[in-house]
Amino acid sequence: MRTIEDLDVAGKRVFVRADLNVPLDGDRITDDGRIRASLPTINALRGRGARVVVGAHLGRPKGKPDPAFSLRPVAARLGELLGAEVRFAEDTAGESALAASRALADGEVALVENLRFEPGETSKDDTERGGFADRLAALAELYVGDGFGAVHRRHASVFDLPQRLPHAAGGLVFTEVDVLRRLTESPERPYAVVLGGSKVSDKLGVIDNLLNTADRILVGGGMTYTFLAAKGHEVGSSLLERDQIDTVNEYLRRADERGVEFVLPVDVVAAEKFAADAVHDVVGAEEIPADRMGLDIGPASAELFAAKLADARTVFWNGPMGVFEMEPYAGGTRAVAQALLDSDAFTVVGGGDSAAAVRALGFDENAFGHISTGGGASLEYLEGKTLPGIAALED
């Protein structure tokens, strides 16, 4: 892939496809990590005299304007972090966006409205998607792909637009791909993977591929209970994907055959209901009461997981160990994060809820080897899939 250093950007309008899909509470941004991750590329372009037009999505507004998903609060926060005004266009590729892009001077920045306000952005019809890409291409002379969290989507601003303009990868995308290649092509061993989150079905492809590359796979989060059920244990009212039990058993069989160690929790925090103030106790993973739900791995499991990570040389972590947003169920996620910090491994936090948990629980992001901005994109890369946004930048 070409990088921004390979582009002559001085005095030119550069469309930067960023990932600014931040969580909002009304108009308040609750985690600006993705905005901060976009700053190095934007500032590098500004410093070389580019006129930067930023495009991004927020949420899933279903192809039409929705004030709840406006990027206006993001424009304000981006301006604060840049220490410079960010012009905000009221549309994505209409009169306001064209006026904003044409009014830019060297080193200035504009942000267009949510790309997903246009049906052409996410359309499965090549013609409709291409038409929207043509309109976006009118905003700039060059394209920089820096929204790693969206590169697994065949969307107009990710896949079609770079085919219409001279293009390069931004620093964020280049770094993400470099890290993921390190995980898939030459991981230093032992290579341990920690998988959490809600559902086994979200991780099927990556588990399948990791059986060929990982030395250990540690399972926590909501997906724990499908694994426990597959081993014949009672899981009470815990999250359970009963239709995945056969698949899980097959993974366990293949792991045993290939010498890949699967590590499951030995205890869990089981609560009467899904609430922070619910009555809860630590119980053995094989002894979950029928009227309780597991909402975190227990302290013995946290110690076990830390021990299994202690001698690792490479660790990839995707998915929290429990409902970390509620303090009674944050202990497992906190313990895994600390175990990564305590190890001498190259540690990669695989985006999504894992990255949010690291920030929410007060850990220093810079202490980890790499924190990805794209959970879904990271997982699909580790599955061995071709990511449309990366393929478009490589031609």
Q: Encoding tokens for residue 2?
A: 């070409």
> Does 182 carry a binding-site annotation?
no
> Does 39 carry a binding-site annotation?
no
Q: Known catalytic residue: 199?
A: yes
Q: Which of 34, 46, 135, 292 is catalytic?
A: 34
Phi-psi region of 314 (alpha: psi -120 to 50; beta: other; left: phi over 0): beta
> Does 203 carry a binding-site annotation?
yes
Report how far residue 267's alpha carbon sits from residue 285's, in angstroms, rounded to the nearest whole number. 4
Alpha carbon 117 to its chain centroid, in Å, reads: 22
> Does 60 carry a binding-site annotation?
yes
**Beta bridge partner(s), residue 14:** 52, 142
**Cβ–Cβ under 8 Å, residues 166 and 142:** yes
Evaluate the omega torsion of the peptide bond into residue 190 and state whether it is cis, within 30 degrees of 0.
Answer: yes
Q: Which of 107, 131, 205, 376 is catalytic?
A: 376
Q: Which of 2, 36, 199, 313 is catalytic?
A: 199
Q: What amino acid is encoded at 364 in this protein?
A: D
> Does 353 carry a binding-site annotation?
yes
Nearest C-alpha neighbor of 294 from the set 242, 241, 238: 238
Neighbours of 7 (CB within 10 A): 20
Q: What amino acid is encoded at 271 in this protein?
A: A
> Does 394 carry a binding-site annotation?
no
**Beta bridge partner(s), residue 317:** 194, 349
> Does 13 carry a binding-site annotation?
no
- Phi (first) and psi of residue 280, to 5 degrees: -145, 150
Whole-Å CA distances, 138 to 2, 20, 106, 161: 22, 22, 18, 10
Instruction: Indicate the SS3 state at residue 143.
Output: strand
Q: Known catalytic residue: 34?
A: yes
Cβ burial, residue 371 (10 Å; 0-12/13-18/19+)? buried
Q: Which of 352, 374, 375, 389 is catalytic?
A: 352
> Does 104 carry a binding-site annotation?
no
**Cβ–Cβ under 8 Å, residues 328 and 276:** yes
Q: Known catalytic residue: 319?
A: no
Nearest C-alpha neighbor of 15 from the set 94, 84, 110, 80: 110
Q: What share of the chain is helix, strand, coil (3-state, %, to 5)?
A: 45, 15, 40
**Cβ–Cβ under 8 Å, residues 91 and 97:** yes
Alpha carbon 262 to its chain centroid, in Å, reads: 24
> Does 111 carry a binding-site annotation?
no
> Does 325 carry a binding-site annotation?
yes
> Does 352 carry a binding-site annotation?
yes
Could you list the residues known to form a binding site for substrate, using ranges: 19-21, 34, 57-60, 116, 153
Residues annotated in the binding site for (2R)-3-phosphoglycerate, as ranges?
34, 116, 153
Q: Which parts are annotated binding residues for ATP? A: 203, 294, 325, 351-354
Q: Residues annotated in the binding site, as ranges?
A: 19-21, 34, 57-60, 116, 153, 203, 294, 325, 351-354
**Residues designated as active site:** 34, 199, 352, 376
